[in-house]
Amino acid sequence: MTQLSDPPPVPPAAPAREGRLVRPYGDTTGDGMVQVSFTLPLPHDKVAEGAAEQLARKMGMDPAMVVHAKPMGPDFTFFVVYGKVRHLVDTGAVEVVERDYPLLGSKEIDLAIRERLRRRLVVVGACIGTDAHTVGIDAILNIKGFAGEKGLEYHREIKVVNLGAQVAVPRLVEVALAEQADAVLVSQVVTQRDAHLLNTREMSAAFREACAPERRPLLVVGGPRFDERMAGELGVDRIFARGTTPAEVASYLVHHVRSAA
């Protein structure tokens, strides 16, 4: 397994920039109108609609109007509330994780791997725990790819081992070590009771127990409910949010692989 560089515990945030104060837009510019949806554990009646309005007002919406209410069984109601807020957003105070590596084309990715590793880059992917949603991991790994981009399998210089869904963490570690993986990619869609966070922490702890630091593969996770700023807290090297493309992942992996020399 090729030794990998140690990225910073927390991905770099965007550099300081000039901010701009903005207010939500609904019917006219700057009117502050927003729409929120939620479910209350109440049967659908006028009391429930009043409770929804009260909650919206406590959230800072005034006036607040229930524009949609639908029973969800006998004991729950789903609401959509439309109303006005007076809050302003300062874009200068927004913290995001910027891409800190060049985005490479397919030929550039393969060439970089040949020059740096002089062998194929090995990637093991899976959905861990009880998560059975493979659409995300397949979009990155499978040759069909995502958003018009081919997946990692398309690259001659990348060996992909896709374990699929509901993979136990010990099994993932076992396969990664057997394959001498350079990187482990994990997708997590199931988020009830923060299952994605618990599974990720379990995975990172298992790899740190099983591998010496210089032998540990890159640990990369992705999913729609992850906060990209939590990589260090969760013990992984990188978090990719929704909308990530295969080229972004491949470019990241290439950027973080050291020379085989």
Of 46, 58, 70, 144, which residue is the catalytic one?
A: 144
**What's the half-sphere exposure (Cβ side, CA atoms, 13 Å) at 164?**
0
Question: In Å, how far are 11, 60, 84, 125, 194 from 55, measured between CA atoms?
Answer: 36, 9, 14, 42, 24
> What's the rounded Cα separation, in Å, for the pair 121 and 96?
29
Element (H, E) at 201: helix 195-210
3-state secondary structure 107-150: HHHHHHHHHHHCCCEEEEEECECCCCCCHHHHHHHCCCCECCEC
Of 16, 10, 65, nearest to 239 by C-alpha is 10
> What's the rounded Cα separation, in Å, for the pair 37 and 24?
16
8 A C-beta contact, residue 143 and residue 150: yes
- Does the active-site annotation cover 144? yes
Residues carrying an active site annotation: 144
